[in-house]
């Protein structure tokens, strides 16, 4: 019977060891995916992810470099054998290239897992590893506080003036002439 295979690649701005440790830690795996996980981080140890949707066992572990697992989801037919997942971690400038080689997937299910790896692993991992606190460094030397920069304040538009009213001419009246007697 034909089986599906996937090869997917993503890059993350952290060292390979951080991804390796997170993948093989119950707390780390849950944090990087956003869903419950249980992991026994030894060869032959069991793993469970996404609150039991995924399960399997560790076949080979090369710290910081490679994880090989037997892997199956709740969607596998009952009589289907576990698939094989190989997670390759390669150090690159500024982080890690993660290559997933997922083989022996039941025929016709590969397209679903391709989308699942992106939606339920790569996307939350990108958010987690960018937001994850970095290892502490030695404190930097204190610098003089920066001077406050006065930002220009946006001026309000001038209030519109009412149109000028025509000035009324004030005509001075001549005093009335006095009537003379006589």
Name the nearest CA neighbour of 53 among 104, 7, 119: 119
Domains of the chain: 3-131 (3.30.530.20)
For position 176, what pLDDT does the model report?
Answer: 52
Averages of pLDDT over runs of 10 residues in the chain (182 residues) are 92 97 96 95 96 95 98 95 98 96 96 94 95 55 48 50 47 50 52
- Check the CA dihedral 89-22-14-126 and report its sign: positive
- Asked if residues 80 and 73 have their Cβ atoms less than 8 Å apart, the reply is no
pTM: 0.71
- Is residue 59 exposed (0-12), middle (13-18) or buried (19+ Cβ within 10 Å)? middle
Name the nearest CA neighbour of 70 among 78, 61, 79, 62: 61
> Which backbone phi and psi does 9 adopt, to 5 degrees?
-135, 140
For position 132, what pLDDT does the model report?
Answer: 55
Please give the structure tokens belonging to residue 55: 């399960």
For position 1, what pLDDT does the model report?
Answer: 65
């Amino acid at each position: 019977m034909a089986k599906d295979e996937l090869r997917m690649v993503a890059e993350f701005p952290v060292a390979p060891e951080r991804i390796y440790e997170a993948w093989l830690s119950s707390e780390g795996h849950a944090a990087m995916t956003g869903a419950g996980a249980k992991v026994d981080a030894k060869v032959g140890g069991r793993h469970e992810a996404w609150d039991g949707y995924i399960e399997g066992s560790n076949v080979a572990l090369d710290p910081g470099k490679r994880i090989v697992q037997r892997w199956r989801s709740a969607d596998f037919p009952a009589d289907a054998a576990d698939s094989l997942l190989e997670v390759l971690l390669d150090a690159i400038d500024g982080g890690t290239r993660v290559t997933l080689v997922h083989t022996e997937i039941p025929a016709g299910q590969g397209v679903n897992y391709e989308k699942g790896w992106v939606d339920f692993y790569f996307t939350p991992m990108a958010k987690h590893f960018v937001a994850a606190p970095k290892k502490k460094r030695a404190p930097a030397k204190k610098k003089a506080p920066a001077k406050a920069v006065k930002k220009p304040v946006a001026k309000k538009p001038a209030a519109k003036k009412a149109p000028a009213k025509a000035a009324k001419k004030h005509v001075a009246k001549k005093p009335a002439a006095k009537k003379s007697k006589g």
